[in-house]
Amino acid sequence: MTKTIRMTVAQAIVKFLDNQYVSMDGEETKFVEGFFTIFGHGIAVGLGEALDTDPGQLRVLQGRNEQGMCHVATAFAKQSNRKKIIPCASSVGPGAANMVTACATATVNNIPLLVFPADTFASRQPDPVLQQLEQSNSLATTTNDAFKPVCKYWDRITRPEMIMTALINAMRVLTDPAETGACCIALCQDVEGESYDYPEYFFQKRVHRITRPVAVEEELEDQISYWSACLEPKGIHIFVLREHETRALVYVYREGLLQKELENPENAAFLKSYGYENTDIAYALNRLKTRVAECKEGFPHEIGVFLNYPLGDVIGFIENKGHNYKCKGCWKVYCNECETQKTFQRYQKCRNVYLRLWKQGRSVLQLTVAV
């Protein structure tokens, strides 16, 4: 017999959301960070009581304007790379209507946003209620119907057990990168506080796996051709070192800088010992490609020269078989530790700046500098 837990709809919402996680590229993240709400008609007694009594690990955030808190939640989800959300709850009527514009913004931009606007009484017995929208032609029409055109998922909870399928479907949409957007679950005021025997398994930890679509070979070739055409005017070239069905290992370089490294007498002598007969870029890259193919695991040691590693560190790595290094960062250091540490710091600073700009919406082409 299935074990059950008796709780209100609002308590079930809080407990369920507190146990949602997403996994992307092997990294597991808690999906629901907290709960934005403005306690008012239809939301204070149900969801307000649940958040006050046992919010779990969810942070309860008090909003001042419904549209404002939804915009904040949308921005938070975007900055979190869609791996975290903050649901928003509002009172019935004007409070709910304030969230419609924010939902449209989230949906248009494919950003996950979950909202819980309070709704009219399912029993209709206490009607009319303060701030409740009344339609003489249909009592089934409420303010929350305005969410339908701007949400990827919409539902109205008129019975306690309905919240289970509603939440599961909302999670399906919120964790789908291609279909994500705003999800609206309207909570009828009386149902929100009704108790029900929910199965225990409904509240178990759920990990929603966000997978990357696998490219086919033709798409891979198209992408390489596209980026080559985009980057070459800025002096950047792409060379495919290894292909394997749906993925490729590419080497990205600036011709002038690579030629300088290859023509360095010490580098040229070192590469010659590995079968590089001349310093022509095309020849050297094809030789490197052959060497990469010969390595069943890892990479040929001389690839460090192509990556602008100091030759002393490349030789030190080979002689010590990767051990006995002085420090490590972008590579393992065997010579000039102080100078290399400064280089690592410059690289990290540059990386942080570019990462911040990329998260702010700059494209790869906008971030690429022509030299």
pLDDT in tens, 43-54: 878 898 899 999
The predicted-structure confidence for 212-243, as pLDDT tens digits, reads as follows 777 677 778 888 899 999 999 999 999 999 88
The predicted-structure confidence for 6-26, as pLDDT tens digits, reads as follows 999 999 999 999 999 999 988
Alpha carbons within 13 A on the beta-carbon side of 192: 30
The structural domains of the chain, ordered by start, are 4-209 (3.40.50.970), 214-308 (no CATH), 322-371 (no CATH)
Share of the chain above pLDDT 90, in %: 75
pTM score, whole prediction: 0.65
Q: What pLDDT is stored for residue 359 in this prediction? A: 83
Structure tokens at 325: 């290094």
The predicted-structure confidence for 200-210, as pLDDT tens digits, reads as follows 999 999 999 98
* Residue found under tokens 């209620």: 129
Q: What pLDDT is stored for residue 153 in this prediction? A: 97
Q: What pLDDT is stored for residue 245 in this prediction? A: 67
State the average pLDDT over residues 336-347. 94
Q: State how far the Cα of 99 lies from the Cα of 65, in Å rounded to an integer.
A: 9
Structure tokens at 334: 């065997």
Amino acid identity of residue 254, one-letter, is: R
Cα three-residue angle 232-235-238, rounded to 5 degrees: 55
Helix or strand holding residue 199 (H, E) = strand 195-199
The predicted-structure confidence for 118-175, as pLDDT tens digits, reads as follows 998 888 887 676 666 667 777 778 889 999 999 999 999 999 999 999 999 999 999 9
Q: What pLDDT is stored for residue 130 in this prediction? A: 66
Q: Which of 5, 92, 93, 11 is nearest to 58 (CA)?
A: 11
Is residue 93's pLDDT more than 80? Answer: yes
Q: State how far the Cα of 366 lies from the Cα of 80, in Å rounded to an integer.
A: 22
Structure tokens at 365: 């082409």
Q: What pLDDT is stored for residue 132 in this prediction? A: 67
Q: State how far the Cα of 106 lies from the Cα of 184, in Å rounded to an integer.
A: 12
